């Protein structure tokens, strides 16, 4: 069957809720308009704001805005209680909002970085929070989660571990779906993405198209971005094989070295160069030749050495270009 001739059914209206911290709570009316526009054939859908800036997922990572879930006590926290109140008082019943759009974990990542909590603790809290959301939702509950983006003031290890926890949970939790990468989007300060089509608006467009693909009311391809499928070592070079999503080629600027981290038996190896070898291959040149087990990280940590805008990252050539997905490969 010719892929281009597949017809997608008109999608039903859905009720969405924004969940998480500032990069969800700061989504403005213009960003929501871009979300609705990208939903296209799902006319009549609504999205409500249940997010709270500064609120963590896990209890022991809480800041001044509270937390969503107490892993040890197996109970909701102040941020989740506020979410319930906010939804009931301003929108409708919580049960009617059965698709969550989640941008979270900045506060959790900070406390992982500080060793206040562990990656496992955060992962368990997120898992249990999602169980509670599923229990309180009517019908087929789904959650689409965005990965943490950049942070220009550091927290490399915390951001990396939080993103790893999210990716690991996506693989095993049936209600949780990869939503989108956000590390390439423009920022207005060290932590927060800017409003509009290059920041929060684009993250919402990506989420909308991902939702369409998962629900079968739009193309599945072109909604997640390319990723490194495998990698091999040739002396001081790492040869990365790229699996395409919606495109068939990649752009690899020299500044994209910042996205990658290479370790040799756990010790950092400096990446001195990066190049596009062909449409499906990226070659990394290292400062020294690894002699042990190699671990390759893509979109590592908070990528804090990037600036706030116009970052040089690996992108595909899809109709709507997407950044290379983050991940970890060991070989």
Model confidence pLDDT, tens digit, residues 282-314: 999 999 999 999 999 999 999 998 988 878 999
Summarize pLDDT for 164-209 with one digit per residue, the tens: 999 999 999 999 999 999 999 999 999 999 999 999 999 999 999 9
Q: Which residue has the tokens 């990365």?
A: 240
The pTM assigned to this predicted structure is 0.94
Cα dihedral across residues 202, 183, 311, 331: positive or negative: negative
- Give the pLDDT of residue 6: 38
pLDDT by residue for the chain (331 residues), tens digit each?
223 333 344 578 899 999 999 999 999 999 999 999 999 878 889 898 999 999 999 999 987 789 999 999 999 999 999 998 888 777 667 888 899 999 999 999 999 999 999 999 999 999 999 999 999 987 789 999 999 999 999 899 999 999 999 999 999 999 999 999 999 999 999 999 999 999 999 999 999 999 999 999 999 999 999 999 999 999 999 999 999 999 999 999 999 999 999 999 999 999 999 999 999 999 999 999 999 999 999 999 999 989 888 789 999 999 999 999 999 999 9
CA-based R_g, the chain, Å:
20
Cβ atoms 117, 58 nearer than 8 A: yes
Bridge partners, residue 56, by sequence: 67
- Give the pLDDT of residue 90: 74
Q: Where are the beta strands (DSSP E) in the chain?
A: 15-20, 46-49, 56-58, 67-70, 75-76, 99-103, 142-146, 176-180, 227-234, 237-243, 250-251, 260-264, 267-269, 271-278, 281-286, 294-298, 315-316, 327-330
- Give the pLDDT of residue 145: 98
Question: By C-alpha distance, which of 259, 258, 260 is closest to 237?
Answer: 260
Round to whole Å and give the CA distance between 37 and 318: 19
Q: Does domain 227-330 have CATH number 2.60.40.1220?
A: yes
Report the CATH fold assignment for 3-215: Rossmann fold (3.40.50)
The count of other CB atoms within 10 Å of the CB of residue 149 is 26
- Give the pLDDT of residue 55: 95
Q: Where do the structural domains in the chain lie, given as residue ranges?
A: 3-215, 227-330
């Amino acid at each position: 069957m010719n892929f281009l001739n597949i017809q997608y059914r008109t999608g039903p209206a859905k009720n969405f809720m924004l969940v998480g911290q500032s990069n969800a709570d700061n989504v403005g009316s213009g960003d929501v308009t871009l979300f609705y526009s990208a939903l296209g054939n799902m006319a009549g859908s609504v999205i409500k704001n249940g997010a709270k800036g500064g609120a963590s997922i896990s209890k022991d990572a809480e800041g001044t805005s509270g937390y969503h879930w107490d892993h040890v006590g197996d109970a909701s926290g102040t941020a989740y209680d506020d979410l319930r109140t906010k939804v009931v008082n301003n929108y409708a019943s919580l049960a009617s909002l059965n698709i969550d759009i989640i941008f979270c974990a900045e506060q959790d990542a900070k406390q992982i970085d500080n060793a206040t909590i562990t990656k496992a603790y955060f992962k368990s809290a997120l898992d249990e929070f999602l169980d509670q959301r599923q229990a309180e939702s009517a019908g087929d509950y789904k959650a689409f989660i965005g990965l943490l983006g950049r942070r220009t003031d550091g927290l490399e290890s915390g951001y990396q571990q939080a993103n790893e926890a999210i990716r690991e949970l996506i693989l095993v939790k049936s209600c949780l779906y990869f939503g989108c990468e956000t590390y390439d989007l423009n920022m207005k300060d060290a932590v927060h993405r800017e409003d509009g089509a290059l920041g929060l608006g684009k993250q919402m467009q990506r989420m909308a198209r991902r939702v369409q693909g998962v629900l079968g009311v739009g193309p599945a391809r072109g909604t997640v971005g390319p990723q490194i499928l495998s990698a091999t070592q040739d002396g001081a070079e790492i040869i990365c094989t790229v699996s395409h999503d919606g495109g068939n080629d990649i752009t690899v600027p020299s500044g994209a070295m910042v996205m990658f981290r290479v370790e040799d038996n756990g010790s950092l190896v400096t990446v001195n160069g990066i190049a596009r070898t062909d449409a499906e291959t990226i070659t990394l040149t290292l400062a020294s030749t690894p002699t042990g087990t190699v671990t390759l990280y893509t979109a590592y940590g908070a990528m804090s050495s990037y600036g706030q805008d116009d970052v040089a990252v690996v992108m595909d050539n899809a109709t709507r270009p997407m950044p290379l997905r983050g991940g970890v490969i060991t070989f």
